Amino acid sequence: MTPNSLTDCDLHVHLAGSFYADDLLAIGAPIFREVDWNARGFLDGYNAALNTTLNPVQLFAEALENPKIGFPKFKAAYVLSAEDGGDFDKFLWKYRFFTQLWGFGWERDRETAVAMITQAVEHHKRQGVRYVEYRSGFWGEGAELRRKMQICTETLAAECDEQFTARYIVPLPRDDPWPMYQAVRQLLTEQPHLAQTLVGLDFATYEEGQPPKLFRNIFHQIHRDNAANPAQQLPIVYHVGETFFDKSLESAVRWCHEAALLGAKRLGHCIALGLDPAMAVGRRPQAHEAELVSERLDQIAYDLRFAKGLRQTGVTVDEQQLRAEQQSLVKMVEGDVVERPYTPQRLQEIRQRQDFVLHQLTQLGTVIECCPTSNLRIGGVPDAAHHPVHKLLASPVNLCLCTDDPGTFDITLASEIEWVVQHTSFNHNTFAQRLGNPRRFAL
């Protein structure tokens, strides 16, 4: 295992987040005046989230006519910088700056769509990345949806050669994952050769309000379908523990374990397992003190189920008290909220819960996809010293380093590795030894 092995494999990359500011300008140059920039409420949402008055047409025109002055302003409007950090909404609206063009290009014609995908792949090739698993969801229904996924799959397949391999993971929208999943299965039935490139499924987008238990049935169906058709395996990867202000820290830690227990092969981010709880609760006033009764009930059931292991890790589990609380909570109405302030003892036990779940993930063989810059800029991690990567590296859990949205953050896989080496006690060699070859975790 060599340090270079870490820089040539990226397992967590969103295709639409792989376009850099110069890509955005080049793709938009011939069409920026044709685009309906307020389609799907983009301008209103962007301006509200960023507290600004974005004028995309003016930005494009200035960047093209006077690049020295115009391009820095253009780039600042698109790239999510450290100054924007800690706000998932800001990220989404800056990300959507490109997706306005992305959507327009896909609706225009196949050639434009293929050219956009190729441009993103070429960036990775120039950076020395040799294996990438891209994630990209699409819109539409029926044959139109399958056509877009087929174009994406075939374009990525055409980019593969002896030096570069691209694979495609389809994200399933959490609000209604079944139609997308059924479209993927039908596409592979109609075009079985695509299974070489279309290799997995992801649960992404908004995490808050969408506990893993909601997806138990579809997980079970995917596992049954995989068993019935080994030639078209679709392993699952899952974003979890990234943004979790809607619940207690205990529940955020639990969600990571629950996603793994459902059968997710890799978990994206898992900030909740590495961010020190004292830092987590200090990010906002009364952060994580309130959660739905349903979450507290799920936590009680979890603690009773794993009482022995939690106790062995140092967590206090009073089963009699938990059952009494359970009986009291079930009388409350749906939508009621439980508030529980944090104490030093509770914070310490959350650290032990993190250790417990990291051990459980290690036993399960689950992989965590750590994305350092993404965690800092959209995950609410306050600074490098408190980054979850420190605890994750200190644990035995399977770990890979990824970029998430390299274009939107203006980073590369190599720069992410340099960041870890700079901010941890690892050097290039010891870091490579700790992680091992990330390709062993490929879908």
User: Which residue carries 């391999």 as its tokens?
Assistant: 165
Average pLDDT, the chain: 95
353-363 mean pLDDT: 98
CB-based contact 194:154 (threshold 8 Å): yes
Instruction: Give the H/E segment covering residue 201.
Output: strand 198-204
Specify if 296 maps to a domain: no
Residue 85 pLDDT more than 80?
A: no
Could you tell me which residues are beta bridge partners of residue 238?
203, 267
Q: What is the model's pTM? A: 0.96
Tokens at 402, concatenated: 């990824």
pLDDT in tens, 35-65: 999 988 999 999 999 999 999 999 999 999 9
Residue type, 94: K
Show the domain range for 407.
Answer: 9-285+345-441
Do the domain assignments include residue 172? yes
Q: Does residue 211 belong to any structural domain of this protein?
A: yes
Q: Is the residue at 215 inside a domain?
A: yes
Residue 318 lies inside a defined structural domain of this protein: no
Q: Identify the residue with better confidence: 379 or 440.
A: 440
Which pLDDT does position 230 carry in this prediction?
Answer: 93
Is 427 among the domain residues? Answer: yes
Q: How far apart are CA 54 and CA 33, in angstroms?
A: 15
CA torsion angle 220 396 295 170 (round to 10): -40
Domain CATH for 371: 3.20.20.140
Summarised one tens digit per residue, pLDDT across range 100-133 is: 999 999 999 999 999 999 999 999 999 999 999 9
Question: How do residues 369-409 score in pLDDT, each as one tens digit?
Answer: 999 999 999 888 999 999 999 999 999 999 999 999 999 99
> Does residue 336 fall inside a structural domain?
no
Q: How many domains in the chain?
A: 1
Is there a contact between 162 and 41 (Cβ–Cβ < 8 Å)?
no
| Whole-number pLDDT of residue 334 | 80
For 243-252, write each residue's pLDDT tens digit.
Answer: 999 999 999 9
CB 283 within 8 A of CB 252: no
The string of pLDDT tens digits covering residues 409-426 is 999 999 999 999 999 999
In a domain? residue 326: no
Q: Measured on CA atoms in the order 379, 246, 288, 94, is the torsion positive or negative?
A: positive
3-state SS of the chain: helix, strand, coil percent to 5?
60, 10, 30
Q: Hey, which residues does 374 pair with through a beta bridge? A: none
CB 138 within 8 A of CB 168: no
Q: Which two tokens stand for residue 21?
A: 């500011």
Predicted pLDDT at 29: 95
What confidence tens digit (pLDDT) does each residue in 274-305 have?
A: 999 999 999 999 999 999 999 999 999 999 99
Asked if the model's pLDDT at residue 4 lies above 70, the reply is: no
